[in-house]
Amino acid sequence: MIQAVIMPHPPIARHLVGRGEEVKIQKTLDAYKKASEQIREYAPETIVIISPHNIFFRDAFYVSPGKTYTDSLSRFGAGADRVSVPYDDELRAEIVRLMEEKNIPAVQDPRYGNEPDHGSLIPLLFVNEVYENYRVVRIAPSMLSDETLMEVGRIIERAAAHVDRKITLIASGDLSHKLLPEGPYGYVKEGPEFDERVTEMMRSGTLSAFREFSPDFRDRCAECGLPGFIMLSGALENYHIGPDFLSYEGTFGVGYAICTFACEDACVRLAVDSLEKFIRTGKHLARPDDLPGWMTSQRAGVFVSLHKHGELRGCIGTIMPWSDCVADEIISLAVEAGTRDPRFYPVTVDELPELEYNVDVLSAPEKADKAQLDAKRYGVIVTNGRRRGLLLPDLEGVDTPGQQIAIALQKAGIRSDEMYDLERFTVERHK
Q: Is the pLDDT of residue 114 over 80?
A: no
Angle between helices 26-42 and 118-128 (to 10 degrees): 70
Kindly report, residue by residue over 140-158, the tens digit of the pLDDT: 999 999 999 999 999 999 8
Confidence of residue 111 (pLDDT cuts 50, 70, 90): confident
Kindly report, residue by residue over 401-421, the tens digit of the pLDDT: 999 999 999 999 999 899 999
- Provide the pLDDT for residue 353: 95
> Right CATH number for 2-174+224-237 from 3.40.605.10, 3.40.47.10, 3.40.50.620, 3.40.830.10?
3.40.830.10
Choose the weakest-confidence range: 111-115, 129-133, 149-153, 339-343: 111-115
Q: Is the pLDDT of residue 7 over 80?
A: yes
398 in Cβ contact with 391 (< 8 Å) = yes
Q: What is the mean pLDDT of residues 220-239?
A: 95
Choose the weakest-confidence range: 46-50, 198-202, 289-293, 325-329: 289-293
- Provide the pLDDT for residue 53: 95
Q: Is the pLDDT of residue 183 over 90?
A: no
- Provide the pLDDT for residue 3: 96
Question: How far apart are the two ends of the chain, measured CA to CA in Å?
Answer: 6
Strands 106-107 and 61-62: parallel
Strands 302-308 and 366-367: unpaired
- Provide the pLDDT for residue 68: 95
- Provide the pLDDT for residue 290: 85
Kindly report, residue by residue over 282-337, the tens digit of the pLDDT: 999 999 998 888 899 999 999 999 999 999 999 999 988 999 999 999 999 999 99
- Provide the pLDDT for residue 25: 97
- Provide the pLDDT for residue 115: 83
Q: What is the mean pLDDT of residues 355-364?
A: 94
Beta bridge partners of 124: none
d(CA 251, CA 13): 12
H-run or E-run covering 147? helix 146-162
H-run or E-run covering 161? helix 146-162
Q: Is the pLDDT of residue 345 over 90?
A: yes
CB atoms within 10 A of CB 77: 11
Beta bridge partners of 3: 168
Domain ranges of the chain: 2-174+224-237, 266-430
d(CA 233, CA 362): 24
- Provide the pLDDT for residue 292: 85
- Provide the pLDDT for residue 135: 98
Q: Is the pLDDT of residue 16 over 80?
A: yes
- Provide the pLDDT for residue 210: 96
- Provide the pLDDT for residue 428: 86
- Using a pLDDT cut of 70, give the percent of the chain over it: 100
Of the candidates 388, 421, 427, 382, the one whose C-alpha atom is nearest the C-alpha of residue 404 is 382
Q: Is the pLDDT of residue 171 over 80?
A: yes
H-run or E-run covering 90? helix 89-101
Q: What is the mean pLDDT of residues 395-399?
A: 88
Choose the weakest-confidence range: 13-27, 101-115, 292-306: 101-115
Q: What is the mean pLDDT of residues 210-216?
A: 93
Q: What is the mean pLDDT of residues 102-122?
A: 90
Strand order in the sheet with 46-50: 135-139, 46-50, 167-172, 2-7, 256-265, 239-249
> For all residues of the chain together, what is the average pLDDT?
94
Confidence of residue 213 (pLDDT cuts 50, 70, 90): very high
> Right CATH number for 266-430 from 3.40.50.970, 3.30.70.1400, 3.30.700.20, 3.40.140.10?
3.30.700.20
d(CA 23, CA 251): 11
Kindly report, residue by residue over 67-86, the tens digit of the pLDDT: 999 999 999 999 999 999 99
